[in-house]
Amino acid sequence: MIVGKQKPIAEIKEIISPYKKVLVLGCGTCVKTCFAGGEDEVATLSSALRLSCKKEGKDIYIEELTVERQCEDEFIREAAIAISKNSAVLSLACGAGVQAIARRFGDVPVLPGVNTTFIGVLEKQGLFTEECLGCGDCKLAAFGGICPVTRCAKKLQNGPCGGSQNGICEVNPDTECAWQQIITRLGNLGQLDNLKKYNPPKDWRPSHAGGPRKLVREDHFI
Ligand code: SF4
Ligand code: SF4
Return the pLDDT at 45: 98
| Count of positions (residues) in the chain | 222
Of 130, 156, 157, best ligand 2 pocket probe by most atoms within 8 Å of the beta carbon: 156
CA 147 to ligand 1 center in whole angstroms: 6
User: Domain check: are 80 and 184 in the same one?
Assistant: no
The tens digit of pLDDT for each residue in 60-110 reads 999 999 999 999 999 999 999 999 999 999 999 999 999 999 999 999 999
Ligand nearest 155 Cα, by number? 2
d(CA 180, CA 69): 38
Say if residues 61 and 22 touch (Cβ distance below 8 Å): yes
d(CA 81, CA 152): 46
The tens digit of pLDDT for each residue in 124-174 reads 999 999 999 999 999 999 999 999 999 999 999 999 999 999 999 999 999
**Total domain count, the chain:** 2
d(CA 221, CA 193): 43
pLDDT-derived band at 210, boundaries 50, 70, 90: confident
User: Domain check: are 162 and 197 in the same one?
Assistant: yes
Ligand 2, residue 178: give the atom nearest the CA: 3
SS3 state of residue 131: strand
Give a yes or no: residue 128 inside a domain: no
CATH code, domain carrying 50: 3.40.50.2300
**Do strands 2-6 and 88-91 pair parallel, antiparallel, or not at all (unpaired)?**
unpaired
d(CA 64, CA 66): 7
Work out the number of other CB atoms within 10 angstroms of the CB of residue 57: 6
User: Domain check: are 142 and 112 in the same one?
Assistant: no
d(CA 157, CA 138): 12
d(CA 41, CA 23): 13
Say if residues 115 and 98 touch (Cβ distance below 8 Å): no
Q: Is the pLDDT of residue 201 over 90?
A: yes
Q: Say if ligand 1 is within 6 A of residue 138 CB.
A: yes
What distances in angstroms separate CA 135 from CA 141, 198, 204, one per listed residue?
A: 14, 19, 7
Where a domain ends, among 118, 151, 178?
A: 118
Which residues fall within 8 angstroms of residue 148, CB to CB, at 6 or more apart?
155, 156, 157, 178, 179, 182
User: Domain check: are 153 and 45 in the same one?
Assistant: no
User: Domain check: are 108 and 143 in the same one?
Assistant: no
d(CA 207, CA 8): 31
Return the pLDDT at 118: 98
User: Domain check: are 106 and 162 in the same one?
Assistant: no
The residue segments making up the domain with residue 24 are 2-118
- Angle between helix 9-16 and 39-55 (nearest 10): 70
End-to-end distance of the chain based on CA atoms, in angstroms?
A: 27
Work out the number of other CB atoms within 10 angstroms of the CB of residue 2: 22
The tens digit of pLDDT for each residue in 172-188 reads 999 999 999 999 999 99
Of 170, 182, 184, best ligand 2 pocket probe by most atoms within 8 Å of the beta carbon: 170
Q: Is the pLDDT of residue 55 over 90?
A: yes
Say if residues 71 and 102 touch (Cβ distance below 8 Å): no
- Which protein residue has the closest C-alpha to ligand 2 atom 6? 161
CA 37 to ligand 1 center in whole angstroms: 26
Return the pLDDT at 128: 96
d(CA 60, CA 80): 21
Q: What does pTM read for this prediction? A: 0.92
Ligand 1, residue 133: give the atom nearest the CA: 7
Give a yes or no: residue 131 inside a domain: no
Where a domain ends, among 89, 118, 147?
A: 118
Return the pLDDT at 149: 97
pLDDT-derived band at 222, boundaries 50, 70, 90: confident
Of 121, 143, 146, 150, best ligand 1 pocket probe by most atoms within 8 Å of the beta carbon: 150
